[in-house]
Amino acid sequence: MSIAENLALVKANIARAAEAAGRDPAKILLIGATKMNDAARVREAVAAGLPACGENRVQELLEKHAQGAYEGAELHFIGSLQRNKVKYLVGLVRLIHSVDSVELMREIDRQARKRGLVQDILLEVNAAGEASKSGFAPEALPDMLAAAAQFPGLRVRGLMTIPPICAEETENLPYFLLLKQLFVDNGEKKYDNVSMDFLSMGMSGDYEAAVSCGANMVRVGTAIFGRRVY
């Protein structure tokens, strides 16, 4: 199957899952996880109608950006981020999905204010408590949201999670439901500098389940681009 055919299938699956949940498919952003795919393949996907690209590594993003890979699409950063790389992303990407510490928020704020802009971010929750994963424990979320008030150079726009890799699509439902709950509950509270607009969850194996649980951003790589060759 070509990238365009895969993309059409993924979009149709998202639309079906959204409609089944009584949601508007147009309000769900499909982000292509483009890691390990070169600029030509990314351009092919964008030309076929991929609305957004998400990269994991800053170096790879900068190289492919210089090659014009993302023209015509939104650019997001979805991988784990070191503080010393923040300066390359601020102002370049629409959204940094993977913010998991106050120190990282502080550096994003600093770089954004230097440039006179406000960087949108998501906070990454480690829903399953896996030691190997990035993100902070669900219990830490209120403190993270409260911390945003100190940082006028950023705005928290919602939550992101990467649940465990699993065999069955439904195995991650509890984590998706937990994120949805946190998203709704904390959206009702009034935190300075926070607006709960985006819930980023779901990958190739489980994006339909994520949509059924309320995701409005899904990050899909393999199902669009095929298996990555490492």
Ligand X SMILES: *Cc1c(COP(=O)(O)O)cnc(C)c1O
* 20-24, Cβ contacts within 8 angstroms, sequence gap of 24 or more: 20/212, 21/211, 21/212, 21/214, 23/211
Kindly state the smallest distance separating residue 47's Cβ from ligand X, in Å: 20
Residues 92-131 touching ligand X, rule: CB under 6 A, are none
Q: Which of 14, 17, 35, 151 binds ligand X (CB under 6 A)?
A: 35
Q: In angstroms, how far is CA 183 from the centroid of its own chain?
A: 14
| String of contacts with ligand X for each residue 148-177, x by CB under 6 A | --------------x---------------
Does residue number 59 form part of the binding site for ligand X (CB under 6 A)? no
Q: E strands along the chain, which residues?
A: 29-33, 52-55, 74-77, 95-99, 119-124, 154-160, 194-200, 217-220
Q: Which residue is nearest to ligand X (CB)?
A: 221
**Stretch of 9-17, 106-114, 183-191, 199-207 lying at the interface with ligand X (CB under 6 A):** 199-207
Q: Which of 30, 78, 127, 182 binds ligand X (CB under 6 A)?
A: 78
Does residue number 211 form part of the binding site for ligand X (CB under 6 A)? no
The two three-digit tokens of residue 34, written as one number: 């483009």
Kindly state the smallest distance separating residue 80's Cβ from ligand X, in Å: 8
CA dist., res. 151 & res. 119, Å (int): 10
Does residue number 64 form part of the binding site for ligand X (CB under 6 A)? no
CA dist., res. 21 & res. 50, Å (int): 23
Given the rule CB under 6 A, which residues bind ligand X?
33, 35, 56, 78-79, 162, 203-205, 219-223
